[in-house]
Amino acid sequence: MNGKAAPSASSSRSRTNGGRGASASRAALAGTRGWPGPGGGQIGNMDPPTMWRATTVQACGLWPFAAGSGAPMTGVPLGQHLHTGATVCGDPISWFTRARYISNPSLFMLGMPGLGKSTLVNRMLIGLSATGVVPLVLGDLKPDYADTVRALGGQVISIGRGVGGINILDPGAMGAAAAKLGGEAGKALEAETHGRVLNMVAALISVVRSRPMDDHEQSVLSAALHHLRERTSTGKAPLLPDLLAVLREGPDRVRSVTLDRGDESRYHDAVDPLHRSLLGILDGPLGDTFASETSTRINPNAPAVCIDISRIGEADTQLTAGAMLAAWSDGLGTVAASHALADAGLAPRRWFFAVLDELWRPLRAASGIVDRIDALTRLNRSLGLGDAKITHTLKDAEALGSESDRAKARGFVERAGMVVCAGLPRTEMEELGRVVGLSAREVELVSSWSSPPGWAMSAGHEEPPGRGRFLIKVGGRPGIPIKVAITDTERELHDTNSRWTANQPQSRPVNSGWEAQV
């Protein structure tokens, strides 16, 4: 009627078949998000399914599970997996003793400033304390951990000019434990005590000289310390001036190792450099802190210990390095004493978690200081001690004077059971990848966390994109990326921006979960 011919049956069938062919073609192109193209329906954003966690008793009808999470669940709760949202738990002690993930209860952490390195370690400290582990913060520079240790009922010891000092000749808890043990066990611990004191004095001399001691000087120093200990019977620890007096007197035990052969001038030629260095400690920038008696000894029964050296000025490099080394020596000596008494059944067994923060500060203080740090941290290490070493980048090691020192400093990373990375530049990540083995995707991910924040200032200061994000590496296993959100209590105890924010309560970060710049 309208002048158009009616479609034939063959053309209708052809059109119908063609429609079915188009539908089949569209079905073949359908992806996980739906059907693309005109007439299709493709979702732009897929929300992840709700995740639930339950025991095998609660979810017995679903057991065995078809798929499991790759996030470890042993240790202190750290945060959520960045990709799956699963809870990630971990700490060097739990992964060594319970999970057996690592063969060395140690952690090495690297990252740019302000991304939350010490905040994550602070969480481990709190979590381990709840399980009975004793946190030891040996040299708190900012301080980052003093308030947390006080909240845990622990002991905070302040070191600095006019605040408090450490007598490096004091055997401390190791000497008291050796006297309590007696017998062969007491003699063995006494020998270890001598080695620790010798290493500490040699470390201070290295700081003053900016180079290591000579081997024959260490022999002289060891003989002088032996003589000083044998003649001190009052129970009062000798001081550095007493050590100088021994060198001036020149007893037979000391002269025998100088090969003076009765010649007074040969004796003075051998001991005068050591004598001058000790005078440099007493009369120089270190004297007020290390020349007198220990102001406050570490309490071996304290639930947590923090040695606060934040009163020392930033530019006082020698005193900072000396105070950190003395704090490490004293704290690790307390650990050794506790284990010796527990082995003899005279004290309960205790585990310790030592935090060695801002490792780059003592490393740069003097050539050869790496050997002293290595000796202090290796001596009497056992199952009961885990440690966390924190620094910024591997370039801290590259800044050392000799290739030998640089290799030893890199060894701190290689020997660590866990390596945790916050945001680092790409060049740094590529260098780190040659040490711990990082994939290209892991390098890209961690490098993106080192980007600066945006320019938006409408709601206070905007946080760096990498704050609270970390990559945990264990051996050759794929890294575990996590995101950490701190609680209000942690924020109050660990606000290292307090001097900046005290008079500006209105300036709040966009993400209030990460206020503290660490």
Nearest C-alpha neighbor of 334 from the set 124, 184, 192: 192
Q: For the purposes of burial, counting CB atoms within 10 Å of the CB of 446, is it exposed (0-12), middle (13-18) or buried (19 or more)?
A: buried
CA atoms within 13 A on the CB side of 198: 23
| Residue 462 DSSP label | P
Q: Quick one: pLDDT at residue 1?
A: 43
Nearest-5° Cα angle at 119, 113 to 122: 140
Longest dimension (CA), the chain: 138
How far is CA 285 from its chain centroid? Answer: 28
Residue 195 has which token pair? 């080695």
Q: Quick one: pLDDT at residue 517?
A: 34
Nearest C-alpha neighbor of 134 from the set 162, 153, 109: 153
What is the DSSP code string of 203-215? HHHHHHHTSPPPH
Q: 390: phi > 0 → left, psi -120 to 50 → alpha, else beta; which?
A: beta
* Cβ atoms of residues 88 and 51 within 8 Å: no
Q: Quick one: pLDDT at residue 509?
A: 43
Domain ranges within the chain, ordered by starting residue? 180-293
- Range 90-105 burial, b when 16+ CB lie within 10 A, else e: bbbbbbbbeeebbeeb
* Cβ atoms of residues 304 and 150 within 8 Å: no
> Which residue is it, tokens 């490099």?
317
Residue 294 has which token pair? 């220990």
Q: Quick one: pLDDT at residue 308?
A: 93
Residues of the chain with pLDDT under 70: 1-29, 63-70, 233-235, 365-369, 372-383, 398-399, 401, 454-462, 495-518
* Cβ atoms of residues 352 and 134 within 8 Å: yes
CA separation (Å) from 168 to 198, 230, 375?
A: 9, 17, 16
List, in order, residues 6 or more apart from 458 with CB less than 8 Å away.
none
> Which residue is it, tokens 């969480």?
123
List strand residue ranges (DSSP E) for 198-257, in order.
none
Contacts of 239-243 with CB under 8 Å at 24 or more apart are 239/167, 239/169, 239/291, 239/292, 239/293, 240/167, 240/168, 240/169, 240/278, 240/281, 240/282, 240/290, 240/291, 241/282, 241/291, 242/169, 243/169, 243/201, 243/278
Across the strands, what pairs with 472?
420, 480
Say if strands 480-483 and 469-473 run parallel, antiparallel, or are unpaired.
antiparallel
What is the C-alpha separation between 29 and 395, in angstroms, rounded? 51
pLDDT in tens, 47-77: 777 777 777 777 777 765 554 456 888 999 9
Q: Quick one: pLDDT at residue 257?
A: 92
Q: Quick one: pLDDT at residue 7?
A: 46
Q: Quick one: pLDDT at residue 369?
A: 67
What is the C-alpha separation between 189 and 481, in angstroms, rounded? 43
In angstroms and rounded to an integer, the radius of gyration of the C-alpha atoms of the chain is: 31
DSSP three-state, residue 378: helix
* Cβ atoms of residues 151 and 493 within 8 Å: yes
Q: Quick one: pLDDT at residue 292?
A: 85
DSSP three-state, residue 44: coil
Amino acid at 254: V
Q: Quick one: pLDDT at residue 513?
A: 44
DSSP three-state, residue 367: coil
Residue 341 has which token pair? 């008494």
How far is CA 115 from its chain centroid? Answer: 14
List strand residue ranges (DSSP E) for 235-384, in order.
305-308, 352-356
Prediction pTM value: 0.78
Residue 434 has which token pair? 């040659």
pLDDT in tens, 78-88: 999 998 888 99
What is the C-alpha separation between 361 and 7, in angstroms, rounded? 90
| Residue 60 DSSP label | G
Nearest C-alpha neighbor of 136 from the set 319, 289, 293, 336: 336
